[in-house]
Amino acid sequence: MGEERAWRRIGWDGILLQVPADWHPAAVYTDYLLFEEHYQPVFALKWQQIKGRFEAEGILKKLQKSLGRAELTPWQPPTGWRLHLKSFIHQGFHWQGAGGKGTGLLLYCRESRRALLLQFYRADESLLSIFERLLANLQARQQGEKRLWSVFDIAINLPKEAQLTEHEFLPGSFRLLFKLPEGKLTFYRFKPAAELLRRQSLSAFGSKIADGAALVRTENPLQAQWQKNPRSGHYLLARLRGKPACSTVRLWVLPEKNVILGLKAQGNRLIAAHNFEALCNNCTAC
């Protein structure tokens, strides 16, 4: 039954997983994801980097407290699930309290030193195979030099050093701000592009995001780019204010998706054109 459903990939803070496409991310925090199905919580995932020794009891005690002194009982996950948990130290539990009940797993990945707390809010027979597939694809830490940030309809591949500092998902407007060793990087997604650009050009639409940067002439009508590379006086003033002096901004339209995507790179030096191009090429809307 679960196999017939469409699935989508979620990437967030190094975590990689797959969930049914009709599960809606109802809460997205830097270290927490909650999914809903038919307006009801179905699955939540929370994670933390462990600095010292991993102590499951302490974490479960905190969970119990956060669930309003819910009753936690040990639980052995089914064999099918355990097959996918070989790379983790795992501990299963049932919880029951005033706020509801469900099944959970506390996982610890030795390699990445990350603890993951999975909460399954329902235990219908039909969901068991879905949870099993979810576990089969769960990664505590993405490998390689890039990290996928993919939620809702956006997908961004960024260098592994990128740290999410702010994010907002408003209807029609998404914004993710990352900190990189060289400066700041902001990703934008606006929808529906056709309506937003009905009475104004892309450059007029993006002027607020460009924040005073100069419009750069481009041949592509579906793209607008701005650049700010101030002279010494303004550069020094920006540095004294503790603000990044240089910025490169690009907005581009994907008409087939009816979306405007954007990227703003800010730093004390102008980002190299080929690096900015590579970053833009790694941002897309699904």
Partner 1 sequence: MISKKKTTAPGPDRQHALACIPMRNPECREEHKEEGILLRYTVQAKPWLRKIFKSAAGREPEIIRKKLQLDAMGSSVWQAIDGSKSVLTISRDFQKEHQLGPREAEISVSEFIQQLGKRGLIALKEPEK
Residue 172, interface with partner 1 (CB under 8 A)?
yes
Q: Which stretch binds partner 1 (CB under 8 A): 6-14, 125-133, 179-187, 194-202?
A: 194-202
How far out from the chain centre does Cα 16 lie? Answer: 10
The single-letter DSSP state of residue 160 is T
Q: Which stretch binds partner 1 (CB under 8 A): 36-44, 86-94, 133-141, 233-241?
A: 36-44
Q: Which of 3, 4, 38, 242 binds partner 1 (CB under 8 A)?
A: 38
Q: What is the dihedral of CA 33, 35, 41, 44, to 10 degrees?
A: -40
Helix and strand numbers, DSSP H then E, in the chain: 7, 19
Residue 57, interface with partner 1 (CB under 8 A)?
no
Residue 258, interface with partner 1 (CB under 8 A)?
yes
For residue 92, give every residue at least 6 positions away whose Cβ sits within 8 Å of its Cβ, in sequence order, or none. 74, 75, 76, 77, 103, 104, 105, 106
Q: Which of 2, 18, 32, 229 binds partner 1 (CB under 8 A)?
A: 32
Q: Take residue 133 and report the two structure tokens written for it.
A: 């597939």
How far, in Å, CA of 286 to CA of 169, rounded?
16
Q: Which stretch binds partner 1 (CB under 8 A): 3-11, 19-27, 128-136, 227-235?
A: 19-27
Q: Which residues bind partner 1 (CB under 8 A)?
A: 24, 26-27, 29, 32, 34, 36, 38-41, 44, 46, 48, 59, 62-63, 65-66, 115, 117, 152-153, 171-172, 191-192, 194-195, 198-199, 257-259
